[in-house]
Chain A
Amino acid sequence: MNDQQEVTTRSATEPQAETGGPDAPQQPEWTLVPDVDIYEDAEGIVVQADMPGVSRERLDIQVNKDSLTIEGEARIDMPEGMEAVSADIRSTHYRRSFVLSAELDTDKIDAKLGDGVLTLRIPKRAEARPRKIEVSTG
């Protein structure tokens, strides 16, 4: 390991320009796209998103028909009169959307937020879970 260098790199949390025009003054111009891990097991789908600086009160999770949107506002303490000299992160607003599929039970999404990591557990509807099909002989 090189002592002064990063060991690994990862995909960028790049700010992306929002499309909100003059009609959408509420939308911040820059949005952070949280890095996510997504996996599926027999029970459902799990989404884990990095949203450092976001507390529970500033987190918003919305399901609208087949789309899932996670949104959050990062807040951190800053001393009086501080001037930024360097910033990898250039926005306070996180937002990312996903398209869900019909077999997922959006009424039973479980959300946990801890140390800036959001974990969403989206269960499959009972009838969509894998069943073992017994093969009969004869």
Chain B
Amino acid sequence: MFGFPTSFEGGRFDEFRRLERELDELLGRWRAPGSGIRSVARDTFPPVNAGVSADQVDVYLFAPGLDAGQIDVTVQNNLLTVSGERRIDLPEQANVYRRERHAGAFRRVVTLPEDADPDRVNAAYRDGILHVTVQRRESSRPRRVEIQ
């Protein structure tokens, strides 16, 4: 399935907030990256989107222009840390008019839900998006209880 991890079609901000709150409760209060004590300003590089499904947690980092081998991804104590450096070398003799793109070191920390399994993490870099998938532990998935 293709799509985008945002419930934002049409720009309905309230809807998103509501969803955020409901999911907080649903997921045993997994603090969404935007509201946790480790959260950073929204315009921090790289921007991060995150989503959950029954089996896994998906984190997307919008970090274009990197060498995949130079990105450091670690999971420890339910913290996903992605760090690296983006080198942008503009020619010295040029007249620079705009310099909006982030240059230099970056680090982002995302708090994962309690049931995230640090041993089953996968990361893929494509078209400038780093997609980190963390599997959730079996026991915490919703189970259907048959009524006798």
Contact = CB atoms under 8 A, between A and B. Distances in A.
Q: Do A and B originate from a single complex?
A: yes
Classify chain B's interface size: 35 or more
Given A6-B108, A39-B94, A87-B6, A115 B127 contact: yes
Does more than half of chain A's interface fall in helix, strand or loop, or is it mixed?
Answer: loop
Given A12-B43, A39-B91, A83 B107 contact: no
Interface residues on A, range: 35 or more
Secondary structure at the B interface, as helix, strand, loop or mixed, is loop
Nearest to B23: A85
A14 B42 CA distance: 9
Interface in A27-63: 29-30, 35-41, 46, 48, 50-55
A37 B96 contact: yes
A90 interface: yes
Given A6-B108, A41-B93, A75-B2, 6 more contacts: A39-B94, A39-B97, A79-B58, A80-B53, A85-B20, A117-B64
Interface of B: 1-8, 10-11, 16, 19-20, 23-24, 27, 30, 32-34, 38, 40-56, 58, 60, 62-66, 88, 90-91, 93-102, 104-109, 125, 127-129, 131
